[in-house]
Amino acid sequence: MSEIRQQADGQVAALLAAQAGVDTASSQAQALFATRPGPPLWLLAEVTYRCPLHCVFCYNPTDFATHEQELDTASWLRVLREGRELGAVQCGFSGGEPLVRDDLEELIAEAHRLGYYTNLLTSGVGLTPERARSLKAAGLDHVQLSFQDSTREVNDFLSHTKTLRSSTRWPNSSSVKAGPW
């Protein structure tokens, strides 16, 4: 078991014991913990509904303008802290397209500092070499790059864009070396 998972389990056990008013180390507390589901291990932070693509199958609201504003930076930082307190060990930044958030590096840096393993779930549209380096420097551990299809015709049809070979889509840039991500 990883050190982070052990730490998370300990935090949850302490929380449950405190709620039940029993000593954390007692057999009563251990039995209580054993009967409860484990902590949430994955926090998926859908940081925005905005996206430069317009996929026909998108499950996000398409009427962005009529929606309430996104959570601001301070609110997301609080959510990240609360997720760790609950025991989450992995944090995915998704959307919409998370790259449209100017504070993404700040959010990732805080998630990294809190001990999360961090993922970025992105279409790659807008992921310039500079942004990729910036995100990595902030502590990003992993990138999940999504395509709508492997052919230009279907990809561009499904996304209502011409982005399969867009110069702003990361894999087309020869100047970025992924490194040991």
- The binding site for ligand SF4 (CB under 6 A) comprises 51, 53-55, 58, 60, 95-97, 123
Question: How near is the Cβ of 148 to ligand SF4 at its closest, in Å?
Answer: 7
CA distance 32 to 58: 41
CA distance 56 to 37: 37
Quickly list DSSP for 106-165: HHHHHHHHHT-EEEEEE--BT--HHHHHHHHHHT--EEEE--S-SSHHHHHHHHTS--TT
Q: Which residues pair with 160 in a beta bridge?
A: none
Nearer to ligand SF4, 39 or 96 (CB): 96
**28: three-class secondary structure by DSSP:** helix
Question: How near is the Cβ of 141 to ligand SF4 at its closest, in Å?
Answer: 21
Nearer to ligand SF4, 1 or 56 (CB): 56
Question: How near is the Cβ of 180 to ligand SF4 at its closest, in Å?
Answer: 27
Nearer to ligand SF4, 121 or 132 (CB): 121
Q: What is the DSSP letter of 36?
A: S
Question: How near is the Cβ of 45 to ligand SF4 at its closest, in Å?
Answer: 14
Nearer to ligand SF4, 83 or 95 (CB): 95
